[in-house]
Amino acid sequence: MIMNLNSIFGQFSPDYLFLMPMTFVSMLMAISWLFLSNSTNWLPTRAGFSLLSFNRTIIKTIFQQTNPSSVTWAPIIITVFILLFSINVLGLLPYAFTATSHISLTYSIGLPIWMSVNILGFYLSFNARLSHLVPQGTPSYLIPLMVIIETLSLFAQPIALGLRLAANLTAGHLLIYLMSTAIWVLMSNITIASITFIIFVLLFLLEIGVACIQAYVFTALIHFYLVQNL
């Protein structure tokens, strides 16, 4: 069997089983997540109690170092985390697609929140925000240069925010695809194929961790920018 690297993005092509797209089955599995997170019972089920405990753990983790002014932003930050966490994890299902691997989605989430946080910061304390452009103790002849550098670093925040999430997820998914392709190519040699399969399983577990960590890093950076502006 010959590996065709030209079809490296062929994983996104829809496959059919009994004339039914497998992406449709994956979408149904993703939608079932809503029924677990929105229970209509007045007593919490096991799934609902587990989700409630998960939310409390996330709140304690993200808001370890915060101030009372950022409490009103907690629902928005937690919602963004649950959204990214759901998309990242459900994207690892067979025949599913991780939408957060596209910068169009990550920038659509990160850029408006970053702008809101900075506009609020300049509105509440305009002079204090301007003073951050010049670190304390900067020589007078370096002030223009420091203003330019700090301004560029400020506008680089949303770029890094969205690009980090998309790049990490895309790289992990491509590695999984290459490893799974290598297993089929090496099926003639059971020993090498078995070793490759073990590496593939470990890589898949690592990708699950990356999907969770990247959602946390995204929201933790948003919270960090928020604390800086309040």
pLDDT at 1: 41
Please report where in the chains the tokens 């989430």 appear, as a residue.
Answer: 109
Structure tokens at 115: 């702008």
Tell me how far the alpha carbon of residue 91 is from its chain's centroid. 11
Low-confidence ranges of the chain (pLDDT < 70): 1-49, 51, 65-68, 95, 135
pLDDT at 66: 67
pLDDT at 43: 63
Whether residue 69 contacts residue 223, with contact meaning beta carbons closer than 8 Å, is answered with no
Rg (C-alpha) for the chain, rounded Å, is 22
Spell out the residues 6+ positions from residue 221 whose beta carbon is closer than 8 angstroms to its own. Answer: 157, 161
Q: Across-strand partners of 222? A: none
Structure tokens at 65: 């170092």
Cα 63 to Cα 77: distance, rounded to the nearest angstrom = 10
* The amino acid at 217: V
Cα 198 to Cα 105: distance, rounded to the nearest angstrom = 33
**pTM for the complete prediction?**
0.70
- The packing angle between helices 103-124 and 190-229, to 10°, is 20
Cα 114 to Cα 108: distance, rounded to the nearest angstrom = 10
